[in-house]
Amino acid sequence: MLLSEFADQLAALERAGRRRTLTCSAGHDFSSNDYLGLARSKELNAAVAGALARGVPVGSGGSRLLRGNHPEHEALESEAAAFFGCETCLFFPSGYAANSALLSTLPQRGDLIIHDELIHASSREGMRLARAPARAAAHNDCDAFADELRAWRKSGGTGRAWLVVESLYSMDGDRAPLPELFSLADAHGAILVVDEAHATGVFGKCGRGLAAEYEGRENLISVRTCGKALGCEGALICASRQLRDFLVNRGRAFIFSTAPSPLIAAAVRAALRLIEADPRRQRRLHELFQFAADCLQPLGARARGSQILPLIIGDSAAAMDIAGAVQRAGFDVRAIRPPTVPDDSARLRISITLNVDRPAIAALAQALGEVLR
């Protein structure tokens, strides 16, 4: 058979409990990243309807360096820079595109990328295409970053170091040691790249994220995903004007991609205004994930002061079986398996959003307890 090798690989994934399939959402939402419940909100629906009424197009018609650049893109970048406190922003169609463009473009030959071992796949894709080599450091271990940096210098490395982390890790719900990492970056002339995907909208004043107090520093680049708490899609790279211009001129993922929809840019602008004007959403989310921690920790879920509560199962097939049972009880909880997470750490990733309430969380805990027993 012409395609037998693909069938064989799919069969191997099936045997290992790692074959993926697409399923539509059903039941109470404990799996999405729509943390503030904005994706289906009447406020964003109204903002999109208003943008259409004033003539904002659905499609861009080309790359931004051709005819695809629209006033909505530029307005979003200007307003986002003011909101987050950085010099400039550059809008990408997804967080994957932003991270892969950033790391494949900015680190130069002779530089070194040091990344947290649990960094997101999109960053790994950028490092795979990068001119500079990459080394992994133990998760959230600033000393490990320092050791890699010193070893590189000792071996003759003379370029710039790029330290790449997530401020809040999407599968574990824990935070990067940002103060220590900035001290390390300052001491060694390094640039810190912080993916704020799961912190934007959730942490910091009015949802500005965990790195907000450091914005405006020359040695910080932050990535702000718009498809999670902001309820839209796309991502913003927040950086100095020089680095933004370099991405516009050398970032192949930016240069050769059709520009994001101007309508989505208008929606993201509205989302930023919403979270700034109404911090009650953020406060309600914090109250909910603290309640969820009280309910789910006795069952073994790890609560680390965030909206992401993983329940480590270990075996992939067992995680799928448990997730399936919980889904049949009416709760949309998904199993996350390797290679998304390390081997033998398959888990239920329980995500708390404003799409659920306390009774739903308590009911999930009861159903999960029954399944685990």
**Per-residue pLDDT tens for 241-297?**
999 999 999 999 999 999 999 999 999 999 999 999 999 999 999 999 999 999 999
Domain edge (last residue) among 277, 306, 325: 277
Residue of 111, 228, 332, 351 marked active site: 228
What pLDDT shows up at residue 69?
97
Q: Is 10 among the domain residues?
A: no
Number of domains forming the structure of the chain:
2
- State the pLDDT at residue 18: 81
Same domain, 184 and 318: no
**102-161: per-residue pLDDT in tens?**
999 999 999 999 999 999 999 999 999 999 999 999 999 999 999 999 999 999 999 999
Q: Is residue 25 within 8 Å of 330, Cβ to Cβ?
A: no
pLDDT above 80: residue 1 = no
pLDDT value for 369: 95
Q: Does the active-site annotation cover 170? A: yes
Same domain? 59 vs 119: yes
Of the candidates 70, 148, 198, 233, the residue annotated as catalytic is: 198
Which position among 28, 70, 73, 120 bears the catalytic label? 120
42 is catalytic: no
Confidence (pLDDT) at 113: 98
What's the predicted TM-score (pTM) here? 0.93
Domain identity same for 200 and 65: yes
Confidence of residue 361 (pLDDT cuts 50, 70, 90): very high
The reported pLDDT for the residue numbered 355 is: 98
Q: The CATH number of the domain where 313 resides is what?
A: 3.90.1150.10
Give the pLDDT mean for 78-103: 96
d(CA 335, CA 170): 14
- Residue 205 inside a domain? The answer is yes
Asked whether residue 298 falls in the same domain as residue 184, the answer is no
Q: Are residues 133 and 220 in the same domain?
A: yes
- Same domain membership, residue 226 and residue 79: yes
33 is catalytic: yes
**98 and 184 share one domain:** yes
pLDDT band at 2 (very low <50, low <70, confident <90, very high): confident
Q: Is 11 inside a domain boundary?
A: no
pLDDT at 300: 95
Alpha helices in 258-311, H assignment, sequence order? 262-277, 280-296
For 279-292, the pLDDT digits (tens) are 999 999 999 999 99
Q: In 3-state terms, what secondary structure has residue 163?
A: strand
Active site residue 125: no
Residues 206 and 257 in one domain: yes
Average pLDDT along the chain: 95
User: Catalytic: 31?
Assistant: no
Domain contains 79: yes
Residues 301 and 230 in one domain: no
- Beta-carbon contacts of 11 under 8 Å, excluding residues fewer than 6 positions away, are none
Catalytically annotated residue among 28, 29, 31, 33: 33
Residues 272 and 349 in one domain: no
Q: Which amino acid is at 181?
A: L
Per residue in 11-45, pLDDT (tens digit) is 988 888 888 887 888 899 999 999 999 999 999 99
Is 120 a catalytic site residue?
yes
Q: Using CA atoms, how far apart are residues 46 and 35, in angstroms rounded to an integer?
A: 19
Identity of the amino acid at 224: R
Query: Per the residue annotation, which of 122, 123, 170, 257 is the catalytic one?
Result: 170
The one catalytic residue among 116, 125, 195, 233: 195
Residues 301-356 have pLDDT tens digits of: 999 999 999 999 999 999 999 999 999 999 999 999 999 999 999 999 999 999 99
Could you read off the pLDDT of 179-202 as tens digits, one per residue?
A: 999 999 999 999 999 999 999 999
Residue 205 predicted with pLDDT over 80: yes
Q: Examine the residue annotation and report whether 219 is marked as an active-site residue of this protein.
A: no
| Domain of residue 80, CATH code | 3.40.640.10
Q: Classify 330 in phi/psi space as left (phi over 0), alpha (psi -120 to 50) or beta.
A: left
Residues 271 and 287 in one domain: no
Residue 255: closest CA among 126, 133, 112, 101: 101
From 213, 246, 277, give the residue that closes a domain: 277
- Whether residues 116 and 214 fall in one domain: yes
Comparing C-alpha atoms, which of 347, 356, 52 is closest to residue 170? 347
Q: Domain for residue 13, yes or no?
A: no
Range of the domain at 358: 18-38+279-372
First and final C-alpha spacing in the chain: 45
Any idea of the CA torsion for 364, 209, 74, 268, to the nearest 10 degrees? Answer: 20
Tokens, residue 9: 């690989």
24 domain-assigned: yes
Residue 4 lies in a domain: no
Query: In this structure, is residue 101 part of a structural domain?
Result: yes
Tokens of 289: 């994930």
Which among 277, 296, 330 is the end of a domain? 277
